[in-house]
Chain A
Amino acid sequence: MAVSTAAPEAARVKARRVLPGFGLAMGTTLAYLGVIVLLPLAALLLKSAEIGPARLVDIVTAPRTLAAFGVTVGAAALATLFNAVYGLLMAWVLVRYRFPGKRLLDALMDLPFALPTAVAGIALTALFARNGWFGAPLEGAGIKVVHTIVGIAVAMAFTSVPFVVRTVQPVLEDLSKDIEEAAATLGAYPFTIFRRVIFPAILPAFITGLSLAFARSLGEFGAVIFIAGNLPMQTEIAALLIFIRLEEYDYPAAAAIAMVLLIAAFVMLLATNTVQFWLTRHARKES
């Protein structure tokens, strides 16, 4: 038994070595990653370490920094909440229904990724400004978007919605309709089918999409700064505060706040992977 499985394995390993270019490809990859990606990241790490723990805590817990973190996380949460509904709706509609203009609608879901963030930023600001197409009627209704946390959330929602749509869409496409049809024949309501059959199946992808969108919103800069108003303590996001500290040549503060954003991004990534791993294992056990 052992011999029969080992032989093709050995042959495959040998065949792999037939192809040339391992040294060149690997060397190029590692050198480039080292110089372009890892070296700058290491520099940020070292420079933040130089600051010393006491000073680091001072910078990160300063009222203005804390306020900026609060605004950033709050707006990102609002944006992600909105995209949980809108993104899921778009994925569902694009996979499940046939209607004229569907391919165009599908293509449009990539526009926020393709459009430069600064361009999205000034466009959204023009729309929601007091005399803008959306801003004027909203102002009449007593709702102010520009220069508020809602405006920041609007910008974040715009730039991050494709994450939700494009993560859920393929999973929904691959979902077999058998179980759903069985549930329907047994007399389950459409909503019950969605809640009990479809939603659990797409949940890992949905959570991944949401955390990608949330992470992107935490670091978003270009789309936000035009609509935000950038008032310290009120509508100033963390990314902008980094920028301001750099302009003041306060490099330790810039490094410290950047470190926090970097760590937040990696923690999000790790958490997503863990949740996804746990959910898929859980789902497998149930079935």
Chain B
Amino acid sequence: MHSRRGAQALVIIAVVLTALLIVTPLIVIFAEAFAKGWAVYVANITAPDTRHAILLTVLVAIVVVPVNMAFGLAVAWAITRFRFPGKKLLLTLVEVPFSVSPIVAGVTYIMLYGGQGLLGPLLNAWDLQIMFSVPAIILVTLFITSPFVARELIPLMQAQGSEQEEAAATLGASGWQIFRRVTLPNIQWALLYGAVLCSARAIGEFGGVSVVSGNVRGETNTLPLQVELLYHDYNTAGAFAAASTLALIAVVTLALKAFFESRAGHRATV
């Protein structure tokens, strides 16, 4: 009796705290975005600079996600299907971007490609500008999101083992056939889920991109940067309108996570 009452109290405290701390921030985004009505919201979303920011953000995701899917597949294949010395070190290196603050990630790229950077003189001689442009945004996003797909694939492929692939190989299947017919069907949901996490992060990345973008209105502003810019312009409704599209993507990501988990029948990592 005593413990059941205690359980009820704990559940209520948990629900109330989560409602206040996690749900209310989500609600306030939409409340602020629609505070001045639907028409203003639509005008804000379709404002040229915001529209450009949306397109640039989509472009970054379209480049980054497939590259990091390929990287994730390569890492997972090497680590889970072969034995080699230094495997633990490689696993640690793959996870490094998770421990690096996005701001620091941005700084590392400035120290490499910036005017005073390691390759700065070389780039200058070739008249190449990487920093404060779209390539810089893409490079930093590649760095920050590189572990997402790999981290979904490695534990799954480790658990599945390589018996099926070995059988296919013994029967004379080519590498591509093994991958297409055996590996891919087994890992498709984890691969997709990793891609969803990777794109959510690529779309929402702020700190790292903020350092290297140069924040040129209508040119190198991604959507999160546009949110900041509008906010500092005291265009609160505009900032929250742009933010609401990002919040919507976050909610869709969570829904997809639930879907993939029910498909894969296990808890996926975040």
Contacts and interface: CB of A to CB of B under 8 A. Distances in A.
Given A90-B18, A258-B104, A19 B247 contact: no
Given A29-B75, A111-B254, A119-B247, A89 B13 contact: yes
B192 to A, nearest CB: 16
A18 B105 contact: no
B interface: dominant SS? helix
A171 interface: no
A24 interface: yes
A46 B143 CA distance: 19
A25 B269 CA distance: 23
B77 A25 contact: yes
Contact of A226 (B3, B231, B257): B231
B146 interface: yes
Contact of A239 (B10, B103, B255): B103
A15 to B, nearest CB: 5
B40 interface: no
Given A120-B25, A251-B111, A29 B90 contact: yes
B236 to A, nearest CB: 8
Contacts of A251: 110-111, 114, 116
A127 B74 contact: no
B103 A20 contact: no
A261 B25 contact: no
Contact of A36 (B73, B143, B204): B143
Interface stretch (B42-50, B121-129, B163-171): B163-171
Contacts of A86: 17, 21
Nearest to A123: B25
A97 B250 contact: no
Interface string A17-61: 011111011101100110011111101101100000000000000
30 contacts: A16-B81, A16-B82, A19-B178, A21-B175, A22-B78, A22-B81, A25-B77, A29-B75, A36-B139, A36-B143, A43-B118, A47-B118, A86-B17, A86-B21, A107-B257, A111-B22, A112-B22, A114-B254, A115-B25, A119-B227, A119-B243, A122-B231, A122-B240, A158-B25, A190-B2, A218-B101, A220-B101, A222-B224, A243-B211, A262-B101
